[in-house]
Amino acid sequence: MDDGERRGKELVDDELERVRKRLLKVNEKIKQYSNLQKNSRPFDGKEYTPSNDLLGKEIPIEEMHAKLHAINEYVRNRALGKDVDPPVFERHSPPVIKRPAPPLKKLSREIVIEPVPEIGESLEESSEIVADETTTIEIPELMTRGRKETAARLGVGLDLGTAYIVAGREVEEKKVFVKNERNAFLSVRCDQSTKELLTRLKVKYVSLQDKLYVLGSMALELADIFGRETQRSMNMGILNPSEAESIPIIKLLVQNILWPPREEGEVCCFSIPAQPIDRDQDTIYHRGVFEGILRSIGFEPMIIDEGYAVVLSELEAQDFTGIGVSCGAGMVNICAAFKSIPVLSFSITRGGDWIDKSAATVLGVPSSRVTTIKEHGMNLKNPKNREEEAIVIYYRNYIHYLLENMSRVFGKSSGTSQFKDPVDIIFAGGSSLVPGFLDVVKEEIKTAKFGFTLGKILHAKEPFTSVVRGCLFNAIEVGKKR
Per-run averaged pLDDT (10 residues), the chain, 482 residues: 66 71 69 50 42 45 67 70 68 44 57 61 33 30 36 89 94 83 90 87 82 88 84 90 87 93 95 94 92 96 97 95 96 96 95 96 93 90 95 98 95 83 96 96 93 94 95 92 74
CATH number for the domain spanning 142: value is 3.30.420.40
Q: Are residues 121 and 68 in the same domain?
A: no
Asked whether 428 and 313 are in contact (CB, 8 A), the reply is yes
Q: Are residues 297 and 419 in the same domain?
A: yes
Residues 175/181/182/187 CA torsion (nearest 10 deg) = 180
Task: Output the pLDDT for position 277.
Answer: 95
Q: Are residues 361 and 307 in the same domain?
A: yes
Q: Are residues 343 and 278 in the same domain?
A: yes
Task: Output the pLDDT for position 83.
Answer: 72
Instruction: Give the count of domains, the chain.
Output: 2
Domain assignment present for residue 99? The answer is no
Last residue of one domain, picked from the residues 38, 55, 79: 79
Domain assignment present for residue 454? The answer is yes
The span from the CA of 186 to the CA of 203, in Å, is 12
Q: Are residues 197 and 323 in the same domain?
A: yes
Q: Are residues 63 and 182 in the same domain?
A: no
Q: Are residues 39 and 173 in the same domain?
A: no
Q: Are residues 337 and 257 in the same domain?
A: yes
Domain assignment present for residue 368? The answer is yes
Residue type for 390, please? A
CA distances to 8, 25, 150, 194 from 87, in Å: 19, 22, 60, 97
Domain assignment present for residue 411? The answer is yes
Q: Are residues 322 and 429 in the same domain?
A: yes
Q: Are residues 453 and 407 in the same domain?
A: yes
Domain assignment present for residue 86? The answer is no
Task: Output the pLDDT for position 22.
Answer: 73
Domain assignment present for residue 90? The answer is no
Domain assignment present for residue 195? The answer is yes
DSSP-derived 3-state class of residue 369: helix
CA distances to 121, 184, 269, 305 from 190, in Å: 14, 18, 37, 39
CB neighbourhood size of 65 (10 A): 10
Q: Are residues 7 and 144 in the same domain?
A: no
Task: Output the pLDDT for position 398.
Answer: 98
Q: Are residues 240 and 128 in the same domain?
A: yes
Q: Structural domain of residue 376, as residue ranges? A: 111-481
Task: Please classify residue 382 by burial: count the beta carbons closer than 10 Å to its beta carbon, then call 0-12 exposed, 13-18 middle and 19+ buried.
Answer: exposed
Task: Output the pLDDT for position 89.
Answer: 59
Q: Which residues fall within 8 angstroms of residue 37, CB to CB, at 6 or more apart?
A: 99, 100
Domain assignment present for residue 84? The answer is no
Task: Please classify residue 147 by burial: count the beta carbons closer than 10 Å to its beta carbon, then call 0-12 exposed, 13-18 middle and 19+ buried.
Answer: middle
Residue type for 278, please? D
